[in-house]
Each structure stands twice: as C-alpha cells, then as structure tokens.
Amino acid sequence: MEIRGATVLPARREEIELRTSDGLTLVGELALPETRDPVATLVTLHPLPTHGGFMDSHIIRKAAARLPALADLAVLRFNTRGTSSPRGTSEGEFGDGVTERADVDAAMAFVEERGLPHPWLVGWSFGTELTLKHGRGHDIEGAILLSPPLRRTTPEELAEWAGDPRPLVALIPEFDDFLRPAEAREKFAAVPHARLIEVAGGKHLWVGETQTRRVLDEITAIVNPAASPLPTEWPA
C-alpha cells in the first residue's frame, strides 16, 4: 500500500486533555507506536489559529498518522487556547503567543507525567513562535521549526537560544510567505549553532505529498535517524 495524504497507519491513539496553570482545559490527542515503546516524543505546536491553524493542520495530522508506525515516535498534538477542531474546542481565548506560554507548559507537564521519552518541540509557523518564546525553560532534547515567520519572537528571545546547547533546526521554504532563506540566514546568525535546512521549491504551508514527505523525513532524521529515510509503502 502506497502511503498517501489520507493514509492513517496503526497506532495507539488516545484523546487527552491538558490542564493549564490559569485553569483552562485544552483538547488533544496522543499517538503511540502500536506494539512498542516510543524512542522519542514530538510535542507539536500548530499554525496560527486566527488563520485556520489547529491540531489537524495537515503536517501535524500526518505526523500523528504516520510517525508512530514508521519511526517509533510518540506524537502529542493539541489545540491551543480558543482553538477548535473535530476533536473539540480548547477553552480560553487566543493570546497572540503570550498567554499560550501556559499551554506549552501544560503540554510539557503532560509529557513528564506520562513518562514520554526524549521530547522535542516541533512548531509550525505560529507554533515556532511559541517554541522560541516559551520552549527553552523545558526539559526538551531540542526544537524543530517549520516555516518560522519570526514575527512575534523578538530578536532578544531568539538570541537567548545562542547560549543553549540543545539543537535548534529550522526548515526554511524557498518561497515562504514570511521568511525566505536569505533573510533567515541573517536573523538566525544570532544563534550560531542553529541549523537551517533550505527547502528548494518549498512553500509556507508545505502543500502536497512531496513536501509532506520531505518535512516528515527531516523531522525523523533529526529525532530518530535510524528510521530515516521513511518508507513510502506499508504492508497491506
């Protein structure tokens, strides 16, 4: 069976709720390998909810659909405050990346409570802002940024990562709507150890199976290189 856009591979899937320090309930899902323990954990942070971003934004949904089976990864995805999806609506209101600090904290507390191994923050667009602004204080292996716009992250917040030894990897689409490779190289110069992966032909939303596979392959190569490259077929 060829793995395509709508493919959902076997996994243990559980609807979960996160509790924030300011009293909100956030809805989400945890996907685990079907028969094995995960080797690492992806804590995913979705694109801008005021522009259609949510826990089912396609790269995040496909990571949860494929990577537990293909790469032995746990995938945690959830709606940030005030965000709705078929899973439900998280309480609260959009906080423009500020009050969402408590959402990131709640996700990481859940990871710790469940004993999920080797967590990585994986942010996409607005999710990269949450990663950069609020991720450093948590016990993570590193951070992966998909299409970072660097609109809400201040230069000072970005520069703070320069003193952090953990990996910081950014996938920069050639034709991004907000931050293209040349400007990204200038801005990320503040973090000398940051690794930029420039994706020829890439766009901000990573539309299409070719770009989806590229993103999921890059994530896997960083987090569990033994499982890379990902297969494109699954036994029927």
pLDDT at 43 (0 to 100): 99
Q: How many domains does the chain have?
A: 1
Strands 12-19 and 25-32, by their bridges, are antiparallel
Write out the two tokens for 129.
Answer: 């802002």
Residue with tokens 């801005």: 187
- pLDDT tens digits for the chain (236 residues)? 999 999 999 999 999 999 999 999 999 999 999 999 999 999 999 999 999 999 999 999 999 999 999 999 999 999 999 999 999 999 999 999 999 999 999 999 999 999 999 999 999 999 999 999 999 999 999 999 999 999 999 999 999 999 899 999 999 999 999 999 999 999 999 999 999 999 999 999 999 999 999 999 999 999 999 999 999 999 97
Q: Which secondary structure element, helix H or strand E, spans residue 31, and what is its range?
A: strand 25-32
Tell me whether residue 50 is in a domain: yes
- Whole-number Å distance between alpha carbons of 60 and 43: 10
The answer as to whether 85 is a domain residue is: yes
User: Tell me, what's the pLDDT at 20?
Assistant: 98
pTM above 0.75, yes or no: yes
CATH number, domain containing residue 37: 3.40.50.1820
Beta carbons of 150 and 158 less than 8 angstroms apart: yes
- Asked if residue 75 lies in contact with residue 55, where contact means CB atoms within 8 angstroms, the answer is no
What is the span of the domain harbouring residue 207?
12-227
Exposed, middle or buried, 157 (CB in 10 Å: 0-12/13-18/19+)?
middle
Instruction: Provide the pLDDT for residue 83.
Output: 98
